[in-house]
Amino acid sequence: MWKNPLLCLCLVICLSLGAVTSAQEGATTPSEEAAIQAFRQGSFSRAVELYRQALQETDDASHRARLHINIAWTLFALGREAEVQTHLRAALLEDPNLTLLPDYYTQEFIDLFDQARARGVESELEAPPPDLEMTIANIEVRIEQQEDLEGALADVDRLLAAYPRSPLVAEACLMKGLSHLVMGKGQTAALYLDKCLELLEADQLLLFGLSVPAYLAAIYVRGLRWRHLTNPFRT
């Protein structure tokens, strides 16, 4: 893919001048600043790592979308097209109205972006809801092992969309709330811990102390225990 030296040189120049636009569009996080420097120095693999760290430093959807685009663009320079598609789709999930400026990107990259948008529309129309218990178990494993944390946290939102009233999703909300609390994102943690308790309190058996599965009762107690730690972040 990158055997043409002239093409490689043109891409690197384009990358250096136009790809990393977050600083021009809004505030940057510490890891993002470091990623920009690594990118400009040609350390693309290191830049990808730092951009992924930066995803954990912001809750702003448009900012996260730009970070995913920067990751995809950097992976594109490395020739890792399968991973490019993953981050292009993630960017569109964060900001469905996202567009790319043609002056900053190659036509090939823009084509990949358009393909990701088209596939996303098709998958939303055709994909069945995720398996509830299997997805919760998978989320728990990834959070405990600190592997693909962003993907695990995104799966919690997928479950909420597919099963908006299921008390079983409360466990996933609890895990996401605690993860954000550990990352220092108190306001986001509060939202998911509140959602955890809301789902469980909607179950009248639990609310009135009647017979309920022990693990749901345990989740409720943990949710109550951790929610008070988010009080300083509430407005």
Each residue's pLDDT tens digit, 21-71: 443 355 788 999 999 999 889 898 999 989 988 887 888 888 989 999 999
DSSP character for 16? I
| pLDDT value of residue 71 | 92
| pLDDT value of residue 16 | 46
| pLDDT value of residue 19 | 45
pLDDT in tens, 60-89: 888 989 999 999 999 998 988 878 888 898
Residue 8 pLDDT level (bands cut at 50, 70, 90): very low
Closest CA to 94 of 77, 118, 117: 117
The encoded tokens of residue 81 equal: 């097209």
Four-point Cα dihedral 111, 153, 51, 87, nearest 10: -10
The values of phi and psi at residue 10, to 5°, are: -65, -40
> Which domains, from first to last, does the chain contain?
5-126 (1.25.40), 132-233 (1.25.40)
Closest CA to 41 of 60, 23, 7, 15: 15
Which amino acid belongs to residue 173? C
Q: How far apart are CA 225 and CA 18, in angstroms?
A: 48
Average predicted confidence (pLDDT) for the chain: 77
pLDDT in tens, 162-173: 888 787 888 888
| pLDDT value of residue 211 | 52
Token match 């990118």: residue?
39
| Count of alpha carbons within 13 angstroms of residue 52, beta-carbon side | 17
| pLDDT value of residue 118 | 86
Which amino acid belongs to residue 65? A
Closest CA to 139 of 160, 154, 121: 154
